A and B are shown apart, each in its own frame.
Chain A
């Protein structure tokens, strides 16, 4: 009985996560340099950027990860990747259990219309992600960006 109930629950709750298409390729050089080849699952991360940015010079960015932020279970880091910037490594933010809340806001530069990906590394070694497409009106880096 117990095992049947467990198997049922495991199937129901595991399927929706499994069916999500990943935001990044596990073997992308930059992704691999961060994750060491670990699987990156969409979820737990909420990246907020405007869908349309008039100027790419300064765009409000906020990212949050669901986590109890305890010594046993917390977010170690959040990494941002700007897929079409001359430098894709946008920023990395490192936390500890003391942060209390895995959330950070900043202002970012976007060279052109592109997708921004947030990768979060948890204390249990798992990786989670979110991605947002931003349309950029005026690019940020001048004529030769």
Chain B
């Protein structure tokens, strides 16, 4: 599988204790396994099924998904600012292809 691209969006700066919004958008077909190609063959299912978000190593959010999540999965959730550091995402799909993306968190 080709390189999976993703974008993580967080506010440029947050206050300590503030609950801030995190948005992640991953380029992934989320192939359902029900679609057929031009020759009528079933396109093999390939779903990005698990995603974890860690804030300086501690898990703050996790998602498990099925074909019920649209192509190019988008997630928006919240977390509380504790200290400056990194918000790191990790995910895996049905082909065992994994990906990572991260964003810097600046706590003022």
Contacts and interface: CB of A to CB of B under 8 A. Distances in A.
Given A91-B64, A101-B19, A106 B69 contact: yes
A57 B76 CA distance: 19
Interface of A: 57-59, 80, 82, 85-87, 89-96, 98-101, 103-110, 140-145
Interface of B: 19, 30, 32, 34-36, 55, 58-71, 73-80, 82
Q: Which of B30, B36, B62, B78 gathers most chain A CB within 10 Å?
A: B78
Given A86-B34, A109-B32, A93 B67 contact: no
Contacts of A108: 68-70
A51 B62 CA distance: 28
21 contacts: A58-B71, A80-B68, A85-B67, A90-B66, A91-B68, A92-B63, A94-B62, A96-B60, A98-B55, A98-B58, A99-B80, A100-B79, A104-B76, A105-B77, A106-B76, A108-B68, A108-B69, A109-B68, A141-B67, A142-B35, A143-B36
Contacts, number: 102
Q: From DSSP, what is the main secondary structure of chain B's interface residues?
A: strand
B69 A109 contact: yes
Nearest to B35: A142
B19 A100 contact: yes
B78 A101 contact: yes
Given A95-B60, A98-B82, A110-B68, 6 more contacts: A85-B68, A87-B67, A99-B77, A105-B74, A107-B70, A144-B36
Nearest to A102: B78
A101 B67 CA distance: 26
